[in-house]
Amino acid sequence: MGGAGPAGGAGPAGEPGRLLGDLAGLRRQTRAARHAYWFPLVLFGLLTCGAAPLYVAAAAPPTQSGAYAAETGPELLSGSPPGGNGFYIGWYWAFALVGGYLLTVVWYRWHSRRAGVATPARSYLVTGVVLTVLVLAIPPLTRVVPGLWLMWLPFGDVWIRGTLAFLIIAVGLWVLARAERSRALAVIALVYTSAALLSSLYNVENIFFRLGWNPGRSAFGWQLTALPNVLLPAAVLLVGGLGAFMAQRSVRPA
């Protein structure tokens, strides 16, 4: 009898499967090299931590000389903190949001040149900047456009605590997750959106009160109760960003 043909996967019959496997591995490696979302997560986490002292200061009771000066800052980004003065909060987030989105795009351009694979981050920039401009422009326009207040006053529970910036960051993360085609980032965006909504709709310090936190009798102690609403979303971003950074390092080729 004639000799047996090529055994197993050796020979021409095994070539298509091997090529498909190599192609799938190359596609996974390329997608992993493109992922660089740890930077915006850490960046906006740090920006949120940087805003924390402003929330504490805004929760201070009015001075003995009378009420605070009239609000002239961004109303939707300022909110109405317990002390009633969110002026600096609003302007902080106006610059931090725009600057954060611009820095992220610069980062992605640098990363694309270094990794040789580009992530389309333009939609992320456009979404963040447009939303920021809208929340800055709508309240002043209300004074000249009748009925425009229906767009934002009924949703006071979302912005009253001065945490609307968190939701703008959340929308940007969803857009970035789509651009990155990353399920991990989508999960982080989901957790962060939940934390941002909780901080916007609920006084998170109540949870810590139930766990035994007692601010004491000092006014400053009660000002510190503004921190949980700020630091909870910040923690999600920082933990997610550091985890993404470590994951990216683990798949980086030697």
For Cα atoms 189, 191, 196, give the angle at the middle one, nearest 5 degrees: 90
Contacts with 25 (C-beta within 8 Å, 6 or more apart), sequence order: none
- Segment among 54-58, 66-70, 205-209, 212-216 with least mean pLDDT: 66-70
Integer Cα distance of 224 and 71 in angstroms: 22
Average pLDDT for 104-113? 88
Instruction: Kindly tell me if the per-residue pLDDT of 33 is higher than 70.
Output: no
The amino acid sitting at 174 is W
Domain layout of the chain by residue ranges: 36-61+71-251
Is the pLDDT assigned to residue 228 strictly greater than 70? yes
The pLDDT score that the predictor gives to residue 202 is 94
What the block records as the tokens of 32 is: 């992993």
Give the max Cα distance, the chain.
109
User: What is the pTM assigned to this prediction?
Assistant: 0.83
80: DSSP letter: -
**Taking 50 as the threshold, does the pLDDT of residue 128 lie above it?**
yes
C-alpha dihedral over 28, 102, 125, 167, to 10 degrees? 100
Q: What is the pLDDT of residues 68-88, one digit of tens each?
A: 444 557 889 998 876 667 889
